[in-house]
A and B are shown apart, each in its own frame.
Chain A
């Protein structure tokens, strides 16, 4: 089983739609969670951290369900510029000073006009 699993997509939705991605992680000791965005042939860039209480940043909402070990990302009023691959990230929860950060394979999102 992969440590971080995502639906690869692609999700193809019209502009203005709401789209949601889920991601599951296997290590119950994981403490830090993030969503990254990666554009074609570019490096991943942090979209937002995911907090236990859930958090929102403009049109983006992230939630964490520790009991079920999944993380979600909701994008409202999607824009053409939201087209990208979205990577789910969790740490391994170790106490070492260099905790390993594990990335999911990404979910491709394509917004059509």
Chain B
């Protein structure tokens, strides 16, 4: 089964500073990869997904960008953080288990809790 590594676990950054969150996956090749954000007390919002190296799809216009420089590496970035970028950032990939339809359920990394001050 896959293992998803995310770091750092927590991060406190000032407004206007840059951001780089990294996600790496083990135990699978050419996975679809996803970035979600969860604001405090809210649900998960899909930010980006990627089907392969260099292929990024954005779900919502925002202050963030994503890149996939290697097959099992997915990076979330920002040039200048906003207060509204605070949240719990989760990287995910399909677990490979059989789901109820075409898609297998997602498996998440431990997440990065970002606080922008």
A positions within 8 Å CB-CB of B = 30-34, 36, 41-46, 49-52, 64, 87, 89, 91, 93, 96-106
* Contact status B59-A31, CB under 8 Å: no
Interface SS of chain B: loop
B positions within 8 Å CB-CB of A = 32, 34, 36, 42-44, 46, 49-51, 57, 59, 88, 90, 95, 97-111, 113
CA–CA, A15 and B38, complex, Å: 29
* Contact status A103-B105, CB under 8 Å: no
Closest-CB distance, A102 to chain B (whole angstroms): 7
Known: A43-B111, A98-B49. A91 touches B43 (CB 8 A): no
Known: A43-B108, A106-B43. A101 touches B103 (CB 8 A): yes
Given contacts A36-B105, A43-B90, A103-B46, list 8 more A-B pairs with CB under 8 A: A33-B101, A34-B100, A41-B88, A42-B110, A43-B108, A43-B109, A50-B100, A98-B51
